[in-house]
Amino acid sequence: MKTIKTNVLLIHDLSLNYALMKKYTILILSILISGFNFDVWAQSTETVFHYSVMDAMRHGVYMGDLAVGKLRKKGDFGLGTFNHLDGEMVALDGIYYRVIPIGQVVQAEDDRKVPFAAVAQFTPDMVFEIDGDLTLARMQEEIVKRLPSFNKPFGIQIHGLMAEIQLGGALKLAENDTTGLAKLMETRPVYHVSGISGTLVGFYNPTFMDNIDLTPFHLHFISDDRSVGGHVISGRSGTTKIKVSVDTKVGYELLFPESSPRFQKEWNTGRASQSAY
Ligand SMILES: [Zn+2]
């Protein structure tokens, strides 16, 4: 088994059932036995895998060393972006898409690298419908009402007709550009799409995750016909009901870039906690 030495943080819910506890006990033991060398690519279906943190992006760290082909081992759905913000990432049903300005969708190559991603294996344990003709904010309120916990992560897929949706795209930066996200958001491509059926893909993140990801929701969109996608800014559902699928997760696995020089430096430009891609 190939092992690599890396910076990894596992945050787990302590109320795991016995089977899970046994599994993670074995994982923890294997870490101790191998002197903190272990296979970080072993698949966990119960956690959200995070590569880097949103605060790194907020402070201009747009280069990572993780390729899509490897990220795929950690999840069949999720979101993120690509090195130097060369497109928004949406992953759904095992396919990783790159949304290029302004909104067009192509499949992401296995060797394309990412500076930030949140992915997981999606196995819904709760599926429900909510009324149509709701703003995105109201849809999110309806979802939060039904979640069994405020303080755990959940994988979320929302499928249905969107009467309108406002999406953010990404414009590729020069390789040495470290402008923070708050500044970039002033000029990011933003586009509106009307009457489109698709899936909002992403996560509910507890507010204590504020530095790691957007809270309480970070959602990207991809249309059923794969013609358009992007970071979800706002929207309103059509008059038909919307289907919501929720996957309860027990914790986060957080992996940091190893060779990104800027990631290693102190980020001293202050926080802009609501900026996100
Ligand atoms: Zn985003």
Sorted by where each starts, the structural domains of the chain and their CATH numbers stand as 4-121+253-264 (3.30.1330.80), 126-248 (3.30.1330.80)
Query: In this structure, what token pair is assigned to residue 47?
Result: 């956690």
**84-93, 95-104, 121-130, 198-207: least confident range:** 95-104
Distance CA 145, CA 150 (A): 9
Distance 231 CA to ligand 1 centre (A): 4
Mean pLDDT of the region 83-101? 97
pLDDT given at position 23: 45
Query: Is pLDDT at 51 greater than 90 in this prediction?
Result: yes
Residues 6+ apart with CB under 8 A from 5: 36, 37
Distance 144 CA to ligand 1 centre (A): 19
pLDDT given at position 41: 77
Q: Where residue 274 falls among pLDDT bands split at 50, 70, 90?
A: low
Q: 271: buried, middle or exposed (CB in 10 Å: 19+, 13-18, 0-12)? A: middle
What is the amino acid identity at position 273? S
Phi, psi of 9 (to 5 degrees): -125, 125
CB 77 within 8 A of CB 158: no
Mean pLDDT of the region 98-119? 95
Distance 218 CA to ligand 1 centre (A): 6
Among positive and negative, which fits the CA dihedral 109, 210, 39, 119? negative
Query: Is pLDDT at 54 greater than 60 in this prediction?
Result: yes
Q: Where residue 265 falls among pLDDT bands split at 50, 70, 90?
A: confident
Query: In this structure, what token pair is assigned to residue 158?
Result: 């929302």
Distance 24 CA to ligand 1 centre (A): 30
Distance 126 CA to ligand 1 centre (A): 24
**25-29, 81-85, 257-261: least confident range:** 25-29
Angle at 136 between CA 52 and CA 212, to 5 degrees: 15
Mean pLDDT of the region 82-93? 97
Q: Where residue 38 falls among pLDDT bands split at 50, 70, 90?
A: low
Query: Is pLDDT at 10 greater than 90 in this prediction?
Result: no
pLDDT given at position 35: 41
Query: In this structure, what token pair is assigned to residue 10?
Result: 């596992």
Higher-pLDDT residue of 95 and 40 is: 95
Angle at 73 between CA 127 and CA 123, to 5 degrees: 10
How many Cα atoms are found within 13 Å in the side-chain-facing hemisphere of 226? 12
**24-28, 71-75, 125-129, 264-268: least confident range:** 24-28
Residues 6+ apart with CB under 8 A from 213: 50, 53, 54, 118, 203, 205, 276
Distance 274 CA to ligand 1 centre (A): 11
Q: What pTM was estimated for this model as a whole?
A: 0.86
**182-186, 237-241, 247-251: least confident range:** 182-186
Distance 277 CA to ligand 1 centre (A): 4
Distance 12 CA to ligand 1 centre (A): 24
**Average pLDDT of the chain to the nearest whole number:** 86
pLDDT given at position 137: 97
Specify which residues 37 forms β-bridges with. 5
Distance 50 CA to ligand 1 centre (A): 13
pLDDT given at position 2: 39
Distance 258 CA to ligand 1 centre (A): 23
Distance 6 CA to ligand 1 centre (A): 26
Distance 167 CA to ligand 1 centre (A): 9
Distance 80 CA to ligand 1 centre (A): 6
What is the amino acid identity at position 242? I
Distance 27 CA to ligand 1 centre (A): 31
What is the amino acid identity at position 184? L
Distance CA 105, CA 89 (A): 9
How much of the chain exceeds pLDDT 70, in percent? 83
Write 181-189 long-range contacts (CB < 8 A, 24+): 181/57, 181/58, 181/60, 181/272, 181/275, 181/276, 181/277, 182/58, 182/272, 182/275, 184/85, 184/277, 185/275, 188/277, 189/101, 189/102, 189/103
Distance 214 CA to ligand 1 centre (A): 8
Distance 276 CA to ligand 1 centre (A): 6
Q: Is 39 helix (H, G, I), strand (E, B) or coil?
A: coil
Mean pLDDT of the region 52-74? 94
pLDDT given at position 260: 78
Q: What does each C-alpha distance from 79 to 8, 17, 50, 121 come to in angstroms? A: 20, 28, 10, 12
